[in-house]
Structure formats: C-alpha cells, structure tokens
Amino acid sequence: MKKETYFETIKCDDYEVMNLSYHCNRIANTIALNINLQDYIYPPSNKLLKCKVIYNEEGVLDVEYAEYKKREIKTFKIVFDENIKYSKKSTNRDELNLLFEKRENCDEIIIIKNGIVHDTSIANIAILDNGTWITSKSYLLKGTTRSRYLNDNLLIEKDITLEMLKGAQKIALMNAMIDFDEIEDYSLSL
C-alpha cells in the first residue's frame, strides 16, 4: 500500500526561510516525527521562492523551489460541502480541486461546511467585523500563518457564518506565501 504523502509550502525571500518553527510543528502534528527543516532547505537564489517540502512518516522525500508570483484574488464563489476533510496538508488535494472547479468565473472559492465559513482552496480566511479580525474556530487546515496571528493576538477565533461573511468590512486570506493579505474590493457569488 502506498504511503500517504504530505507537504509544507514555505516562503523563502532573499535566502531567508520564513516561520520555520510553525512548519516544523505542523509536520510533528501530522506524522508524530520531529524533522528539523533547516537541514533540508537551502534557497538557491535571493528571489521570492515557494519552497515545497514533500514528506511522509519516514521523513523528507523531496524539496522543490519555484519563483513565486501572487495570484490576484478579488472574486469568490461560495461553495457548500458538508463532508470535506483536509486536516493534514496532504499531496492528495482531489476533494479541494473538485470544489475549486465549481468556482465558475470567480478567482477562488470559500468553503462553507455545517453553516460555517471554513477556508478557501489555498488559504485560511479572516473577516474584519466591527474593527476586529476574526477567523473561524472551524477550519479545514490549521494554517501556519493563522496559528502565528492567533499566537500574536492579532486575530480572535469565533465561527463565521455566511451572514457575517456577507457583512464583513474586509476579508483577509492567510497562508505561508501571502502572509495576511487584506482584500477590500471583493465580491461574493452564491
């Protein structure tokens, strides 16, 4: 039987590897193995790079680098899925990819599960509600940037309903590459 593989996406900029401890913690929580990623990541240039570390329960399998260009995301399709699970950052993204295909002419999806806003296909999400940034207690993947912002008390956890999302002053997407990306001029499509 083929072993499940997982990956971490790690930002490298000007030879600096960002937020490594959060990625190491997620690996430890995923496979119950402490891997020192610093032993594996050597950015090959000073450009903004997306480092992809692929691993399984036996250790690191591969490290890939690619120049990173941020995707412009302004339009969101709301998709509903009561069964989706993606609690570990698996290389098998079939369920997420199927949902992403439902985006129609939008840039990205926002996944609603059990009436609660969870994530997009590539990021955790937060909303600005009455001057406070909120991220859902319910999420698909425990993102490293989400964890960092919660630890620094820059976000609070409170489940976000569709009505709260519709009434948000702003939304923000969070992942290792874009950090905390506030989006003001966006549209939601049901």
| Mean pLDDT value across the chain | 96
Beta carbons of 164 and 171 less than 8 angstroms apart: no
Cα 73 from chain centroid (whole Å): 14
Cβ–Cβ contacts within 10 Å for residue 165, how many?
Answer: 20
With a cut of 70, say whether residue 127 has pLDDT above it: yes
Domain boundaries, the chain: 6-67, 75-189
pLDDT tens per residue, range 129-147:
999 999 999 999 999 999 9
Question: Is CATH 3.20.10.10 the right assignment for the domain spanning 75-189?
Answer: yes
Residue range 6-67 forms a domain whose CATH class is alpha beta
**pLDDT, tens only, 13-72:** 999 999 999 999 999 999 999 999 999 999 999 999 999 999 999 999 999 999 999 999
Beta bridge partners of 102: none
Tens of pLDDT, residue by residue over 65-122, are 999 999 999 999 999 999 999 999 999 999 999 999 999 999 999 999 999 999 999 9
What is the per-residue burial (b if ≥16 Cβ within 10 Å, else e) of 78-100? Answer: bbebeebebeebbeeeebbeebb
